[in-house]
Every structure is written in structure tokens, then in C-alpha cells.
Structure 1
Amino acid sequence: MNNSLAPTYQKLIGRMWVLWYSVSNSYSIVDTDFKFLIDSYLKACSKIEFNSILSKEEPNVDIDQITNTIEQYLNNCNIPKVKDVIRTSTFNGKKQTITILYRINNKIVQINYDSELVQKTIHPAIAHYSIKETQLTDIIYDIYLEDDYLFLFEDQQLITSAPKREYHKIQGKFTMLLLCAIHDKVEDDWISTFHGSTLTDGNSSILFAGNSGKGKSTLCALLTTKGFHLLADDVSPMLYKNQDFYFNPAAISIKEGAFKILEKDIQGFDNLPIVKFNKAKGYLKYLPCEHPNKLHYPCFATILVNYKANTTTAVRKVTVKEMLETLIPDSWISPNPDYAKAFLNWLENIEILELTYSDIDSAVQEISNLFKSQYK
């Protein structure tokens, strides 16, 4: 009845339909029954025709209630996202209180911070790339606080700003800028920066996702001691050209609850500095990892990590709905229609799994077996 609300792309993955709406750049996941209602609603020219279609399938339905449900659902899926208001500011060179150089992928990156507090938003995750000697810089970033707003500049040009309580927006934008710089890309080259960590065995990779407290970072840290390499922690970038996942230089962020676990298995972990940025984050350590052999790898599986005390380690297939409800909310995904189509095609062709574990050794074995299975 209102075809303007129709999803731009739709893909059946397993038992669920993934729908993408270009107006809002949003994804929804529905089962086949609800998809039938959506299709019937969009095909019908009137409520009478919609009622006729539904009555053939299920007589005595409440057509008004179903119509209102479908209309509300599609309207919600088509609400454009409100863009952040960027406060403008003229570059202030007097804010360059702390200057640190980093060598990453043969690029010399200079970051100027105005305080130790602002430095904590970026530096701890890339501290292992800092250098002492003076070098000619390839790119310069300035990050400083002014009137309770954080400002991010690239070569003295304002990139973005955010209220200081929304510092994660500055972190996210800086990560994108850094990825573009070290891989010689531009933002429009990327399909997404997924909220998840990616590990490689030197041939392919697996994307690990999971809500806070589910043991994702702990598991990934321990896997790096078992012959696997960290490709990206927390922010995993996927390139449109080849749908490969690319190297992100950030160290693994480890919460205080995992300190004792990792001290037993990771040499030197107890000597890593403790960082406290705010009460919400608590105490953190950042674990640098050995550089992977290559800068990008294809990804053949996504795994939801689910730590449960005193449980048997198990890997099971899960629906795309379960995966995307965890993966999408904190991920950036390009609004480009071609990229959305590529993302759906990628989803259709990977394994979507959940790993439930309490015993680290058996979890590592399951991951090893999964990597090996694709080469048989």
C-alpha cells in the first residue's frame, strides 16, 4: 500500500530474512511469516485487497491490527538517522601540550594532545607504536578539549567534534582516519568497521563478536598465545574491493576482571601499565600483539563469544538475527547501496556460529578445528 517503505535489498539467510532500507541505512531481520505479511502489505493496493490476501491464508484475522503493525514496523525501519551536530572551531595551536610520534606500517603519525586526560582516549591502545626519535611526519592529528567539547583535527583541518561525555565518537572517527592513513585508503573504500575482534591463522580469519562481559577479549588474547595473530581488536574494518578484513593496530583492551586469568598465560602481562580513564570503564590494560604476516585476510566465519562458568565448551550454528543483533548496534556500516548489497552477499556465504565456553583449552581447540575444517 505504501511502496516507498519497501526495503531496498532483501536476502534470505538460513531461516531469516535480512532487509536493508536505504533511507535509514538500517537492517532488520524477520522470519518468513512476518516477511509474508510485509510483502502482502506492499503488494496490496488497499486494505480490502490486503484483507483478501490474508484471509486466504488465515481467516478471521484482525486486518486493522495487522495493518497498523506492518505500517508502524516499516515506518520505524525508514526513519532517517539524525546526523550529529558538529561544533565548528578554528584550529588552536596553543593546545599542543603533549606531542607523541608513532610509527605504524611505515607511516609516521604525530598526535598532539592538550592534556593527559585527552591523551587517554587514544594513546593507550597504540602506545606500543610510539617512538622517541624525531622523524618527518606523514600526517598530524590534534585532539583537544575546549568548552566541554572534544575536537579532532587532521593537518589542522577540523574533522569532527563531540561533547566530552561522547568521547567514543572521537575515538571512532580517529580510528577510521588512522585506518585510511596506514592502508592508503579513503573512508568510502570501506564497507564497515564492525564492533568485533578478528583473528587469523595466516590464511583466513574469523570475526569474534560479543556483548561486554562475554569473554571476547580474554579469549582473543589467549588465542594469540596459541599460534594465532590478532588482525583487529574491537574495531574490525572490511574493505569493499575484496571483502577482506584489514589490520587495525590497536592493542587488545583487557578489563580488570580478566587480569588474573591472563597473568598466568601471557608473559609480561603483569608488567603492563594499568589505565583508568573513567569510572564506567574501570581499570584497563592494553595488550600489544605480534604483527600479522599480512595486512588483510578473507573472513569465513563470525563467532558470538559466550563465556559461562562451569559449562561444557560447544560450538553451534546460530541465526543471522542472533549475530546481527549483537554486531550491528555499535558498528559503522556504509550507506552506499552497492556496499550494502556486498555486505548481504558476504553474510550469506559465511558460517555464523556461537562459542559457549568456560575452559580455555577446549575453546582454543574448537577454534583450531574450525580453521582447519575449511582446508579439507
Structure 2
Amino acid sequence: MLKAPSLSKQMKEQQLLWFSSSNSYVIVDEHINELINLFVTNTEKSSFISAASKTIGVTDSQSEIFYDEINQLFSTNTFENKNTSKDLPFDASFRAYSETYIVNGAALQVNYSHKRVKEILHPQIAHLVSEKSNNVPQTIFDIFYANNTLYFYKNTVLIDSYEAKNYHVLQGNFCMQLLCVLHGKTEDDWLGTIHASTVTNDKEAILVIGKSGRGKSTFTAHAMAAGMNLVADDFSPILAKNKQVYTYPAAISIKSGAFESLSKMIPGFDELPLIFKGEEKGSVKFVVPFQNKNTKPQQSYPCQKMVSIHYKPESKTELKEIPFSEAMEIFVPDSWISPKEVDAKEFMDWIEGLSFYELTYSDTPEALEVFSKLFNSQG
């Protein structure tokens, strides 16, 4: 049975729809939204064609095309989640590698069954390792590999399992678990984790998004080197209670194309180890986030602006406002938004309150100067 959008919100000239069954967001214009409303009340094809022809004044053949397209939209955004988790009895003998990390003063232990399993998660948080910790870990995670499946445990209880090819899902779930330990929260407390980096001037934060290869992580690393503070890289958590962005301590993944520019900006960059992250990314370096010594770090920051970064060789520096739909097409596909209806509504309200920009540049210092002025503007 096809399910209609559970929520709908007017956003200027467009409509933002939320489908609860797939926890997905769709943006349509007013014309398409009118057709969707007709579809919801006239699910039979002949009934829809008749209603569309009378209400909108289009031909029967055009109405039929509209019906098929909307029917496809609903089908694409209608599915029920199925638990495909495989069980593997916990076995401490799988613990081949073990690391203890210090997070907000508390010890956290992660055990890995194989070196390649460790490579999935460890490089981003290697700077949190404590060789001499007297703290007894309150939380112990285990990541095991067996039968082409990755198994994720918390305090010996299985959280979930994943086909090896879906290791990125494990990465996301591990980040969520670490985030909850870091801030003393549960998954239910979070509105979402946005596929964006976040920088701050210690008063407010700006979310930085970007299509793959356009220099988002490089830009945030330069911003950090220029005196701004990094709140989170690639994984920006939003708390449902106050809609603020919270810190997440992962290192910044830097691709080889940015090595030369950052080696001049970040002390010790040339000595950082190369980590191979697959054919698509190649070898990367992980830059440890550091704070401006003149400021006291906070756990969270208010945020009302989002900037899409676009590094384009030989281009002029240009900052322009863009519609929310353009920004959402970039960050939503790889973000996690809470599937609860109350949170979906809060997320839509939060999006409505943001200002969206695109920053195109080739001169990094000039771009940083333009970017930094957004902290003082009203948006």
C-alpha cells in the first residue's frame, strides 16, 4: 500500500515533504504539490485523470503521465525497515587489537578482530588514544569480522551487524555511539547528524557542506589553521532539545591534492602518516583538530547558516545565497535524521530558520576572509 507524505511544509515557493515509511525528504514546486494532493484523494488512475483534467485543465494523456510519475515517487519513498541483523555469539577470543581512548576525561575501550577492521574506525580517532590511562573503561566496544559480516557490540551486547561491503553503515553507527558517550546522551536525544563540517568563532557555528571533490574538508582545515575552531568534521550532530551543533572529535580527512597548501599552514603536517582509504579517495592524512588557545572550548554552539563550498581553479571569490533545496540535495543523502515524526517536524522547522550560501573560490585566504564575515552578519 502506497503511503502519502506524513508531513508537508511550505518553504517559500516550494513544498518540503516527509515520508515516514522511508524517513526521506522530497522537495516539490507548488504545481507538483497540487498534483500530489489530487493523487492522495484520487488513488485510482481513472479518478486521478478525471480530477486533474477538471482541476488543472490538462489533457487526459498528460494527466496519465503525471499519475505514473507521482505513483513512482510514492513507491520510491515507501518501504518498511526490516531487521536483517545476523547473530554471532560474543567471543572475547576475537579481540586481536585493543585501544583505549580518552573522551571528555573518560576512558573508552575499542577492540578489533582484524587489522583491516581497525583501519575502518581507528585513524579518525587515533589522536584520542591514551597509552597510560588509570581510568577503568566504562564502555567497551567490539568490532568483529566473520562470514563476510561485521559485528558491532557494546559491553558484549550485539548492537547490529553489517555486510562487509556496507562498512560505512558501521562507521555511522559507531560515530553515533561515540557521540552519545562523549555528551552523555542517547540516540533518541539527537535530531540528526548532518553530513557537514562545522566551524565556529566561539559564539556561533556555521555548517560547511560540499559535493565530493569540491574542497570542503580542505577549507575547514584552512579555517582551523587561520584561527577558527573546528566543532566537527563531516559528522555534525544536532541536539533535538536546543537545535545546537555539538562537538565531535574526529580528525579531518585530507586528500593528496591539498597536501602542499596545508603543509605550509599546519605544523607537523608533512610528518603525518599516509592512510590508504580505497581507490576513490586514495591515500589521505588525518589532521587532528586543535583549539585556539585564547578561547575556552564549548560543547555546543547555535547555528543559523550553512555554506556550500566550491573550490574552482582560477575563479573569483563569490559568496551568494542559494535556495534551501539546493543545499539539501548536497547534505541530506548522507545525513542521518531521526525517524520520529516529532523530530522530522522539528528538522523541517530548523531548516526553515537557516540561511544558505554557496562560496566559490580559488584564493583560499580571500575566501576565508569572506567566510569569516558571515559570523557577524544577520543572514
- Same fold, TM-score > 0.5, yes or no: yes
The Cα offsets for residues 260-280 of structure 1, whole Å up to 9 and x where unpaired, read as 121122221111111124333
Structure 2 match to 1:153: 153
Aligned to 1:9: 7
Report the CA distance between 1:298 and its aligned residue: 1.3
What is the aligned partner in structure 1 of residue 212 from structure 2? 212
Q: Find the residue that maps to 2:298 and give its secondary structure.
A: coil
- Code of the residue aligned with 1:232 in structure 2: it is A
How many equivalent pairs are there? Answer: 372
> Amino acid of the residue matched to residue 103 of structure 1?
I
Q: 3-state SS of the aligned residue for 1:168?
A: helix
Q: Is contact 2:53–2:59 with CA below 8 Å preserved after alignment?
A: no
Name the residue aligned to 1:18. Answer: 16
**Which residue matches 2:266?**
266
What are the within-5 Å matches in structure 2 for residues 281-320 of structure 1? 281-291=281-291, 293-320=297-324
Higher deviation after alignment, 241-250 or 315-324: 315-324
Q: Distance in 2 between matches of 1:49 and 1:355?
A: 44
* 1:28-52 superposed Cα distances (whole Å, 9 cap, x missing partner): 0011111121123334587457635
SS of the residue 1:213 aligns to: coil
Worse overlay, 4-13 or 326-335: 4-13
Does residue 333 (structure 1) correspond to residue 337 (structure 2)? The answer is: yes
Alignment-mate amino acid for residue 299 of structure 2: L
Question: Which has the higher relative contact order, 1 or 2, with Cα contacts under 8 A spaced 6 or more apart?
Answer: 1
Secondary structure of 1:120 counterpart: helix
Equivalent-residue separation in structure 2 for 1:132 and 1:71 (angstroms): 58
Once residues 308 and 338 of structure 1 are traced to their aligned partners in structure 2, the CA distance between those partners, rounded to angstroms, is 40
Q: How does 1:165-204 map to 2 (within 5 A)?
A: 165-204=165-204
1:1-376 equivalence runs, <5 A = 5-44=3-42, 47=46, 51-52=50-51, 54-60=53-59, 62=61, 63-77=63-77, 79-80=78-79, 82-83=81-82, 85-135=84-134, 136-291=136-291, 293-374=297-378
Identity of aligned residues (%): 35
Query: Measured at CA, do residues 43 and 260 of structure 1 come closer, stay the same or move farther in structure 2, by a change above 3 Å?
Result: same
Distance in 1 (CA, whole Å) between partners of 2:109 and 2:205 is 31
Task: Using structure 1 for the length normalisation, give the TM-score.
Answer: 0.93
Q: Deviations over 1:74-103 (max 9, x none)?
A: 3323x1154462111111111222221111
Inter-partner Cα distance in structure 2 for 1:264 and 1:333: 38
Counterpart of 2:272, as a letter, is L
Q: Deviations over 1:252-307 (max 9, x none)?
A: 01111211121122221111111124333310111011247101111111111111
Q: State the distance in 2 between where 1:41 and 1:171 align.
A: 39
What's the CA shift for 1:60? 3.6
String of CA shifts for 1:288-341, please: whole Å, max 9, x gaps. 112471011111111111111111111112122211111111111111000000
Code of the aligned partner of 1:190: W
- Kept after mapping to 2: 8 A contact 1:14/1:320: no
Q: Name stretches of at least 5 consecutive residues in structure 2 with no aligned partner.
A: none
| 8 A contact 1:15–1:319 mirrored in 2 | no
SS at match of 2:369: helix
CA RMSD, 1 decimal: 2.0
TM-score (norm 2): 0.92
Distance 1:44 1:277 in 2: 50
SS in 2 for 1:131: coil
Query: Residues of 1 paired with 2:43 and 2:279: CA distance?
Result: 55
Query: Contact between 1:16 and 1:319, CA under 8 Å: does it hold in 2?
Result: no
